[in-house]
């Protein structure tokens, strides 16, 4: 019972021991002098210099802290992150960037765990990132929960980072690109970007990797797997996972995919897309996945497509960044919210056409 407002309880007998007795003053539960010492010991935020030096010397803690800055929405963090990225850029670009997609359940995590372990056993350093715009770490995203990659996550030569949390796909993609730069500067020579095969996120993933692997399951039509033709067209390799379950079906599926691919035009890379089988369980075919990636890299470096594609990706980043910047500047302009509301009303009341209103807001209208 509260005793803050005695009038409220004036009709009651107010002799409860709880109200009369103040209780005994308890000593502090925490020794303040220890607290002071702990505070003094807490490391200050690393400087840009320290972050860059740590990252380029392969310090994982510094890498994680820089990634946290990239992911932060605080303006000061963003500015610091941009400085770190700029200074890491000269050390980046030397990895093989591999995109992996497939519907949930296709075995992406299990395959990445198997392939990642194979790679670290062969002296590679592997970073695993994810693009999942629906993710919000606390709410359990599709790809965010990497605890499934149990062995890889404790491998000192692997670095696993869940998707930057929910936001626009453009925002998540940009952050992932920046994280790739940081991981490469930290010496990771294979960067795997995982994405779920059910939307626009693989287009984003495709725009930042060198090689795109599509995982499929045996005996399921494209419709069933929700894989659109566009995603098959982006693939540099298709592998039917779980071939340990039913080999005949897996082989039949592979033949169907090969036939379907024959109808597609030759990709710009000049590369013939392979369809293979593998099992992330028995590890059959897992090393072949990597062999195929390396063959592709050799082939496209020889014909120049590898470098051309990376340049195209850079130009795309330029365009996207400008477009996002313009959009942000427009909507964040002083008074824009009220003006938008006003013209929206005018449109609803048929006072002005939507085109005219848009021109006016964009400053294209001479009367604006
Ligand atoms: P994701 O949603 O695409 O990441 O798929 P997961 O990697 O989580 O795999 C989905 C399920 O398929 C899990 O229960 C895995 O244990 C299982 N799985 C993955 N790879 C294989 C495989 O090669 N063979 C068999 N039999 N099961 C597999």
pLDDT in tens, 75-129: 899 899 999 999 999 999 999 999 999 888 899 999 999 999 999 999 999 999 9
The model's confidence at residue 20, banded by pLDDT at 50, 70 and 90, is low
Closest-CA residue, ligand 1 atom 5, reads: 107
DSSP state at residue 267: P
* 241 CA distance to ligand 1 middle (Å): 8
Q: What percent of the chain has pLDDT over 90?
A: 55
Closest-CA residue, ligand 1 atom 6, reads: 107
- Which residues have C-beta atoms less than 6 Å from ligand 1? 102, 104-110, 148, 241-242, 244-245, 279-281
**pLDDT value at position 62?**
96
**pLDDT value at position 226?**
52
* 290 CA distance to ligand 1 middle (Å): 19
| Full-model pTM | 0.80
**pLDDT value at position 236?**
95
Closest-CA residue, ligand 1 atom 7, reads: 107
Tell me which residue of 138, 142, 136, 208 sits closest to 170, measured CA to CA. Answer: 208
Q: Which atom of ligand 1 is nearest to the CA of 110?
A: 7
Closest-CA residue, ligand 1 atom 10, reads: 105
Look at residue 207 and tell me whether its pLDDT is greater than 50. yes
Q: Which atom of ligand 1 is nearest to the CA of 194?
A: 4
The per-residue DSSP string of 158-192 comes to EEE-PPPPSS-HHHHHHHHHHHHHHHHHTT-SEEE
Query: What integer is the mean pLDDT of 311-319?
Result: 90
Which positions ≥6 away from 187 have C-beta within 8 Å? Answer: 58, 125
Q: Of the segments 137-146, 202-211, 345-354, which one has the largest average pLDDT value?
A: 345-354
**pLDDT value at position 140?**
44
Q: What 3-state class would DSSP assign to 28?
A: coil
Query: What integer is the mean pLDDT of 273-299?
Result: 96
Please count the CA atoms within 13 angstroms of the CA of 177 that sit on its side-chain side.
24
Closest-CA residue, ligand 1 atom 11, reads: 105
**pLDDT value at position 3?**
45
**pLDDT value at position 212?**
95
Closest-CA residue, ligand 1 atom 22, reads: 242
**pLDDT value at position 263?**
85
* 293 CA distance to ligand 1 middle (Å): 21
Tell me which residue of 126, 146, 238, 236 sits closest to 192, measured CA to CA. Answer: 126
Q: Which of 78-82, 183-187, 193-197, 255-259 has the lowest mean pLDDT?
A: 193-197
Residue in 102, 105, 107 to alter for ligand 1 test, most ligand atoms within 8 A of Cβ: 107
The model's confidence at residue 73, banded by pLDDT at 50, 70 and 90, is confident
Q: Which atom of ligand 1 is nearest to the CA of 148?
A: 8
**pLDDT value at position 40?**
60
Look at residue 196 and tell me whether its pLDDT is greater than 90. no
**pLDDT value at position 230?**
78
Residue in 105, 143, 240, 283 to alter for ligand 1 test, most ligand atoms within 8 A of Cβ: 105
**pLDDT value at position 359?**
93
Look at residue 224 and tell me whether its pLDDT is greater than 70. no
**pLDDT value at position 1?**
41
- For residue range 27-67, list pLDDT tens digits in order: 666 666 666 666 666 667 899 999 999 999 999 999 999 99
Look at residue 19 and tell me whether its pLDDT is greater than 60. no
Which positions ≥6 away from 87 have C-beta within 8 Å? Answer: 48, 52
- For residue range 122-151, list pLDDT tens digits in order: 999 999 998 877 765 444 454 545 457 888
The model's confidence at residue 368, banded by pLDDT at 50, 70 and 90, is very low
The model's confidence at residue 261, banded by pLDDT at 50, 70 and 90, is confident
The model's confidence at residue 320, banded by pLDDT at 50, 70 and 90, is confident
**pLDDT value at position 357?**
94
* 160 CA distance to ligand 1 middle (Å): 18
The model's confidence at residue 6, banded by pLDDT at 50, 70 and 90, is very low
Scored b (16 or more CB within 10 A) or e, 143-159 reads: bbebeebeebeebebbb
Q: Which of 83-97, 195-209, 306-320 has the lowest mean pLDDT?
A: 195-209
Strands (E) located in the chain: 96-102, 126-131, 158-160, 190-196, 211-217, 237-241, 274-277
Query: What integer is the mean pLDDT of 186-192?
Result: 97
* C-alpha dist (Å) from residue 111 to 81, 99, 158, 321: 32, 12, 14, 33
Residue in 280, 283, 284, 289 to alter for ligand 1 test, most ligand atoms within 8 A of Cβ: 280
Q: Which of 223-232, 286-295, 301-310 has the lowest mean pLDDT?
A: 223-232
Q: What is the mean pLDDT of the chain?
A: 84
């Amino acid at each position: 019972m509260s005793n803050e407002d005695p009038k409220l309880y004036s009709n009651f007998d107010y002799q409860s021991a709880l109200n009369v007795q103040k209780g005994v003053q308890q000593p502090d539960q925490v020794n303040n002098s220890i607290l002071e010492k702990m505070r003094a010991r807490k490391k200050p935020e690393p400087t840009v210099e320290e972050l860059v030096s740590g990252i380029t010397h392969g310090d994982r803690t510094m890498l994680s802290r820089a990634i946290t800055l990239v992911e932060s929405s605080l303006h000061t963090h963003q500015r610091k992150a941009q400085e770190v990225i700029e200074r890491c850029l000269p050390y980046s670009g030397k990895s093989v960037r591999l995109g992996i997609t497939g519907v949930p359940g296709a075995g992406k995590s299990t395959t990445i765990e198997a392939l990642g372990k194979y790679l670290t056993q062969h002296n590679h350093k592997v970073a695993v990132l994810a693009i999942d715009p629906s993710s919000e770490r606390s709410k359990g995203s599709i790809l965010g929960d990497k605890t499934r990659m149990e062995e890889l996550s404790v491998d000192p030569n692997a670095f696993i980072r869940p998707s930057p949390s929910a936001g626009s796909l453009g925002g998540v993609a940009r952050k992932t690109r920046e994280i790739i730069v940081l991981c490469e500067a930290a010496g990771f020579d294979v960067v795997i970007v995982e994405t779920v095969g059910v939307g626009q996120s693989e287009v984003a993933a495709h725009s930042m990797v060198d090689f795109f692997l599509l995982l499929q399951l045996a005996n399921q039509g494209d419709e069933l797997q929700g894989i659109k033709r566009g995603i098959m067209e982006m693939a540099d390799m298709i592998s039917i996972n779980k071939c340990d379950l039913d080999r005949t079906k897996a082989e039949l599926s592979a033949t169907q995919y090969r036939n379907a691919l024959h109808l597609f035009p030759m990709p710009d890379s000049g590369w013939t897309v392979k369809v293979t089988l593998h099992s992330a369980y028995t590890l059959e075919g897992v090393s072949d996945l990597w062999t195929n990636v390396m063959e592709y890299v050799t082939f496209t470096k020889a014909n120049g497509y590898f470098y051309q594609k990376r340049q195209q990706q850079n130009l795309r980043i330029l365009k996207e960044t400008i477009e996002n910047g313009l959009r942000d500047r427009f909507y964040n302009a002083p008074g824009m919210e009220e003006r938008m509301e006003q013209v929206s009303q005018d449109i609803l009341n048929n006072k002005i056409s939507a085109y005219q209103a848009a021109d006016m807001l964009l400053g294209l209208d001479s009367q604006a």
